[in-house]
């Protein structure tokens, strides 16, 4: 028997894939921990969060590559759009230089070589202020951390041990592990799988609006660090800080509210309006005379 929906009945909430609760857990304490704000994960960007932002050097590398390959120099808005993307993605979608996979790979490697040559052969191994203290606090409280970025694996894997921070990250997702970079959330979703946390309980720490867009598209929270852009330009983030030393675990936990999440499940869904059709008796016919 089918029941018709009335105004007193509310539609059942949708079941979201990958929610924090797990009905198969027989330990009530572990299940309660999942439902609390302590069960979360952190995903860090690379440039502007772990190391200093080097977007100016990336722009110079692209301009030098264009000169070497006898290509037209990319415009300023193209270079801004290229920030945070994979090199292959920039070559094919932003600069439109080529779509040949082998040619894209060759140009991407050459760009990385130019970028390293501008820094004397290696990336500056100096972490930002407050990063190690914040990572120690997360590790002490059992919060798994990962790196999700569009930098090459060679740069991240060679620089991270020099910073003495490799022990704090359980997973490292670079441009070599994903198909698309920011603002696509692929790297963040992959990182959340590696640390064993659902996207609804992950927070991304970045320094650009593309990080905020990718995090929200993945269903994650985002904390923006004002190391590159003014803080008012990062207002779309869930929390904005000047430096990581202003951030604590309490600030991170306050971003996750079970009440807000449950309220979002019960929000009524919008229904499409249907156009009313007049009965056939009220429709005028051609043989009716409207003029007297």
The confidence score (pLDDT) of residue 2 equals: 40
pLDDT tens string 225-241: 988 888 899 999 999 99
pLDDT tens string 120-154: 766 666 778 889 999 999 999 889 999 999 888 88
- Confidence category of residue 281, pLDDT binned at 50, 70, 90: low
Rounded to whole angstroms, how far apart are CA atoms 190 and 214?
12
pTM of the model: 0.78
The confidence score (pLDDT) of residue 35 equals: 73
Q: Residue 222 pairs with which residues in a beta bridge?
A: 204
pLDDT tens string 113-123: 999 888 876 66
The confidence score (pLDDT) of residue 253 equals: 87
The confidence score (pLDDT) of residue 13 equals: 41
The confidence score (pLDDT) of residue 15 equals: 43
Distance from first CA to last CA of the chain, Å, rounded?
55
Rounded to whole angstroms, how far apart are CA atoms 67 and 61?
10
Rounded to whole angstroms, how far apart are CA atoms 215 and 223?
10
Rounded to whole angstroms, how far apart are CA atoms 39 and 138?
11
The confidence score (pLDDT) of residue 220 equals: 92
43-70 average pLDDT score: 91
pLDDT surpasses 90 at 280: no
The confidence score (pLDDT) of residue 279 equals: 58
pLDDT surpasses 70 at 275: no
Higher pLDDT, 283 or 182: 182
pLDDT tens string 177-221: 998 888 899 999 999 999 989 898 999 999 999 999 999 999 899
pLDDT tens string 57-116: 999 999 999 999 999 899 999 999 988 888 999 999 999 999 999 999 999 999 999 998
Rounded to whole angstroms, how far apart are CA atoms 261 and 65?
47
| 3-state SS, one letter per residue, for 6-66 | CCCCCCCCCCCCCCCCCCCCCCHHHHHHHHCCCCCEEEECCECCCECCCHHHHHHHHHHHH
- List of domains in the chain: 39-52+126-253 (3.40.50.1000), 55-118 (1.10.150)
pLDDT tens string 155-180: 898 889 888 898 999 999 999 899 88
The confidence score (pLDDT) of residue 20 equals: 72
pLDDT surpasses 70 at 250: yes
- Confidence category of residue 28, pLDDT binned at 50, 70, 90: confident
Q: Residue 44 pairs with which residues in a beta bridge?
A: 147, 205
The confidence score (pLDDT) of residue 120 equals: 76
The confidence score (pLDDT) of residue 125 equals: 65
* Least trusted range by pLDDT, from 7-16, 45-54, 182-191: 7-16
Q: Which two tokens stand for residue 72?
A: 């037209």
């Amino acid at each position: 028997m089918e029941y018709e929906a009335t105004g007193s009945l509310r539609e059942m909430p949708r079941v979201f894939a990958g929610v924090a609760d797990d009905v198969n857990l027989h330990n009530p304490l572990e299940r309660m921990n999942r439902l609390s704000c302590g069960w979360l994960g952190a995903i860090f960007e690379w440039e502007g969060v772990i190391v200093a932002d080097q977007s100016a050097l990336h722009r110079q590398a692209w301009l030098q590559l264009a000169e070497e390959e006898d290509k037209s120099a990319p415009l300023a808005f193209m270079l801004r759009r290229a920030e945070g993307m994979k090199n292959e993605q920039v070559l094919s979608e932003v600069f439109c230089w080529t779509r040949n996979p082998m040619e894209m790979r060759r140009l991407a490697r050459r760009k990385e070589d130019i970028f390293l040559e501008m820094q004397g052969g290696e990336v500056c191994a100096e972490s930002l202020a407050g990063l190690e203290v914040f990572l120690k606090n997360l590790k002490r409280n059992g919060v798994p951390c990962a790196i999700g970025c569009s930098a090459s694996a060679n740069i991240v894997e060679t620089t991270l041990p020099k910073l003495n921070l490799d022990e704090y990250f359980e997973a490292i997702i670079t441009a070599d592990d994903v198909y698309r970079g920011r603002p696509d959330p692929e790297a963040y979703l992959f990182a959340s799988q590696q640390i064993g946390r659902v996207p609804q309980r992950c927070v991304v720490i970045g320094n650009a609006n593309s990080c905020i867009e990718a995090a929200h598209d993945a269903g994650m929270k985002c904390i923006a660090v004002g190391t590159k852009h003014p803080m008012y330009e990062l207002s779309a983030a869930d929390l904005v800080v000047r430096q990581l030393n202003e951030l604590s675990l309490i600030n991170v936990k306050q971003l996750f509210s079970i009440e807000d999440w449950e309220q979002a499940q019960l929000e009524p869904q919008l229904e499409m309006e249907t156009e009313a059709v007049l009965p056939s008796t009220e429709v005028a016919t051609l043989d009716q005379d409207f003029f007297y």
